[in-house]
Amino acid sequence: MKVGIAGCAGRMGRANLREVLETPGIELAGGVERPGHEAIGRDLGELAGGDPMGLRVEEDFAALAGRSAVIIEFSSPEATIEHARICAAKGCAHVIGTTGLTPAQERELADLARRIPVLRAPNMSQGVNLLLVLVEQVARALDAGFDIEVLEMHHRHKVDAPSGTALALGRAAARGRGIAFEEQRIETRWGQTGPRPEGAIGFAVLRGGDVVGDHTVVFAGSGERIELTHRAGDRRIYARGAVRAARWLAGRPPGLYGMAEVLGFGTGGGDDQ
């Protein structure tokens, strides 16, 4: 199975390259970066931290999609949507780990998934997807006397906040509690905010250093507190999940899928998984 990597020179792109190159039964079709990127022309093997392999970083995404069964992409929301359009035209499956999509972009992606299989997940790790299941179950089991807060920390270079994973955890909690996430979420607190609204789902965001990704969901009750935490120490866990998703997605009928289906935790797609 031929797999192409979009955004191949980024942190996750390089991890995805390494994982594809080291996974039996998968062939690297190539890697692309945006036009003018300093990595254009570099050998993909060297970019992945290995020996030269004769394939170089390109800028023609359409050509890569045309010779790939699946594209794996962690990039910007704008590039991801443009690439999804091309994948739909080429009949190429698309695994997306990009976060920060707008509601309009999410709707367009869902429309494109009527033509090709698309798997979108804010986090590809097995542990985080198990955490999503646990958060929903705990939220369902506890009454409204337990306040829900989501805390996340990432490296200083991350550009979106809260993280896509943090939002997915908030949505999982809202599903378990049986409330509308968009109506109950609180993403910022500053100044005289007044008492915490009952039923709200709060978020706290930290940025600094080289933290790969830490997420904690706190259920704070009167006299007791439950905390569910996942800490990522290596981006390889995300790349491993992305390649597993690519192998699972190839040959599937058109539709919008999530990692829960790949891992056998249930059904779902996009941020909700």
DSSP state of 271: G
> Cβ contacts of residue 264 below 8 Å, gap of 6+?
none
3-state secondary structure string across 164-232: HHHHHHHHHHHHHHCCCHHHHEECCCCCCCCCCCCCCEEEEEEECCCCCEEEEEEEECCCCEEEEEEEE
Q: What contacts 223, CB < 8 A, 6 or more positions away? A: none
Pairing mode, strands 213-220 and 147-154: antiparallel
- Kindly report the backbone phi and psi dihedral angles of residue 128, in degrees, each rounded to the nearest multiple of 5, phi listed first: -65, -40
Exactly one of 94, 154, 215, 230 is catalytic; which is it?
Answer: 154
**158 given a catalytic annotation:** yes
What type of residue sits at position 255?
G
Residue 228: strand pairing partners: 217
Dihedral of alpha carbons 113, 93, 262, 232, sign: negative
Please measure the distance between the N-terminal and C-terminal CA atoms of the chain and give it in whole angstroms. 25
Per the annotation, the verdict on 37 as an active-site residue is no
Q: Which residues participate in catalysis according to the annotation?
A: 154, 158
